[in-house]
Amino acid sequence: MTALTLHPDRLLPADPEQRRLARAIFAEIEHLPIVSPHGHLDVALFVEDEPFADPAHLFITSDHYVVRLLHAQGVPVGDLGLVPRSGGERASGREVWRQLCTHWGALAGTPSRLWLEHELYELCDLRTVPSADSADESYDALTARLQEDDLRPRALYERFGLDVLTTTDPATADLAMHAALRNDPTWKGRLLPNFRPDGVLDPAHPQFIENLARLAEVSGSDTSSYRGYIAALEDRRRFFQRNGATAADHGVPLTTTERLSGSEAEAVYERARTGRATGAEVEAFRGHMLDEMARMSAEDGMVMQLHIGVARDYDALYAATYGPDIGQDFPHAVDFTRTLRPLVSRYGNSDGFRMVLYTIDETTYSREIGPLVSYFPGLFAGPPWWFLDSPDAMTRAFVALGETAGITKLTGFVDDTRSLFGIGARHDVARRVCAGYLARLVAEHRLPLDEATKLAVGYAYERPKELFKV
């Protein structure tokens, strides 16, 4: 059994002078409140405030990063608790936990390992490195620890110093749970919805037609005409805003943002809502509707977020066998420069328009995103997203974007997480990386220390709060 430790200087640069400076910068941001303006938490967590039941579900099954890494080691999805095993029964939590313990070494060097170490040590008081030998023992200890009150969702909210948290919600969501939470006098936090209308903007979405029917229902606007459809979307944005939303998010496949003329839009919509649109029409409609979303954002002030460049449900065998969201997502190359030209030419200089660009194609940092946000006042570079939210990849993003656009055109860290439990760890890692990056600039006499510290505070706290209007 090897001792699990958490070194106070972890992730800070190895060079002594840079480490000294990084410590000084980190000390000023380590304990700042956490702003989390984009994420994927379940509002029920806070409404119910129940203890997390099972370490296997918490640390493995519900974490698609960890699922992915263990799957890559040859662990079947049935043994990860994701689907029933071939025999029909479900793997027990203890069995799933053993898988992580057995393959702990395979996670070496990944951010998941850093986050898990942080969570297990700092929150769960584990003091032994997970291993096959000690799997049962650690499983029992963790199961017991999770029952304690200080690890319930609301307690974690307090412990992490959270300032605000967000969910991600379809355009047709009723946000009833959000309202219930808001009206709960014992809830002291802030949990805001986020408008994510992909399902009603992408004619290729498998439930597009049903979603339009539901959209008509919740908005009271007839979506059988293009005009009614637009009105319904505008209505839903107002509804989300009344429920506290300050931002929208978009993740449809995108190759253009050219506007269609009024009559073109009507015609394509008519074909799309009746399932007859061609592939080219679907593409054109998605581009047109992103422009419409930008128009609405410029008017209503909701911050527009863009997450593109992902092939969803990539593993066709798994998607066919298990349905959506098991086949994982994979990045591909994107072209922001040409795709966004019409949209950003139209709105990028508008007062009140704000768009945050996320990427998992890091070639776009210096070639596209940096140049775009270094010119358009309404554009900002989102933090490293999935696959790039690791320490060295984050550093590369800081370096590429910071030089091209200046650090103030980065939104600051956004955790984008599905794991409440991991929020503390993720911000801790991001803040250490930020401190290390800035420390190098100071050590190379490119910035004075006081200015670097101010930039770190902006990145860690002030800027996301201001930019996302939370």
Contact status: 402 vs its own copies (CB under 8 A): yes
**Residue 233 DSSP SS3:** helix
Residues 419-448 that bind its own copies (CB under 8 A): 440-441, 443-448
Q: How many residues does the chain have?
A: 470
Nearest to its own copies of 123, 373 (CB atom) = 373
Minimum gap (Å) between residue 100 Cβ and its own copies = 13
49 DSSP assignment? -
Q: Residue 185 CB, nearest distance to its own copies (Å)?
A: 40
Asked if 403 is part of the footprint of its own copies (rule: CB under 8 A), the reply reads yes
Residue 316 binding its own copies, by CB under 8 A = yes
Instruction: Establish how many alpha carbons lie within 13 A of residue 326's alpha carbon, considering only the half-sphere containing its beta carbon.
Output: 18
Footprint of its own copies on 150-189 (CB under 8 A): none
Of 371-390, binders to its own copies (CB under 8 A) are 371-377, 379, 387-388, 390
Q: Using CB atoms within 10 Å of the CB of residue 416, give its burial: 0 to 12 exposed, 13 to 18 middle, 19+ buried.
A: buried
CB atoms within 10 A of CB 211: 21
CA distances from residue 71 to 103, 117, 326, 327 in whole angstroms, order as listed:
10, 20, 11, 11
User: Which of 276, 278, 332, 466 touches its own copies (CB under 8 A)?
Assistant: 332
Residue 342 near its own copies by CB under 8 A: yes
**Residue where the block lists tokens 């591909």:** 332
Instruction: Return the number of the residue (284 or 407) whose C-beta is nearest its own copies.
Output: 407
Question: Could you give the CA distance from residue 172 to residue 194 in angstroms, rounded to a whole number?
Answer: 12
Site residues (CB under 8 A) for its own copies, limited to 82-111: 105-111
Torsion of CA 125, 127, 130, 136, to 10 degrees: -70
Which position has the token pair 């933090």? 383
Contact yes or no for 302/356 (Cβ under 8 A): no
85 vs 341, beta carbon nearer its own copies = 341
Between CA 448 and CA 308 the distance in angstroms is: 36
Decide: is 127 part of the binding site for its own copies (CB under 8 A): no
**Binding-site member from 315, 326, 457, 465 for its own copies (CB under 8 A):** 315
Minimum CB separation of residue 358 from its own copies in Å reads 14
Minimal distance, residue 227 CB to its own copies, in Å: 26
Indicate which single residue of 56, 58, 114, 265 sits in contact with its own copies (rule: CB under 8 A): 114
Using CB under 8 A as the binding rule, whether residue 333 contacts its own copies is answered as yes
Q: How far is the CB of 265 from its own copies (least distance, A)?
A: 20
DSSP state of 173: -
Coil/strand/helix, residue 269:
helix
Is 280 one of the binding residues for its own copies (CB under 8 A)?
A: no
27 binds its own copies (CB under 8 A): no
Least distance to its own copies, CB of residue 347, Å:
9
Q: Which of 94, 341, 465, 469 binds its own copies (CB under 8 A)?
A: 341
Binding-site member from 210, 325, 392, 466 for its own copies (CB under 8 A): 392
Q: Alpha-carbon distance 409 to 42, whole Å?
A: 30
**Residues in region 42-81 near its own copies by CB under 8 A:** 68-69, 71-74
What x/- string results for residues 235 through 274 when contact with its own copies is judged by CB under 8 A?
----------------------------------------
Pick between residue 79 and residue 264 the one whose CB is nearest to its own copies. Answer: 79
Q: What would the DSSP string read from start to end of 367-411? A: IIIHHHHTT-TTEEEPPPPTTS-SHHHHHHHHHHHHHHH-GGGB-
Instruction: Tell me how far apart the alpha carbons of residues 380 and 408 are, in angstroms, rounded to a whole number.
Output: 9
Does the protein bind its own copies through residue 330 (CB under 8 A)? Answer: yes
Q: Which is nearer to its own copies, 98 or 432 (CB)?
A: 432
Q: Exposed (0-12), middle (13-18) or buried (19+): which is 263, by Cβ within 10 Å?
A: exposed
Parallel, antiparallel or unpaired: strands 169-170 and 310-311: unpaired
- Is 393 an interacting residue with respect to its own copies (CB under 8 A)? yes
What is the C-alpha separation between 90 and 87, in angstroms, rounded? 9
Q: Using CA atoms, how far apart are residues 40 and 32, in angstroms rounded to an integer?
A: 22
Total residues binding its own copies (CB under 8 A): 91
Write each residue from 4 to 23 as x if it is in contact with its own copies (CB under 8 A), else as -, in one continuous string: ---x-xxxxxxxxxx-----
Q: Which of 134, 143, 225, 328 binds its own copies (CB under 8 A)?
A: 328
Which amino acid, one-letter code, is at 379?
L
Indicate the residue among 211 and 364 with the shorter CB distance to its own copies.
Answer: 364
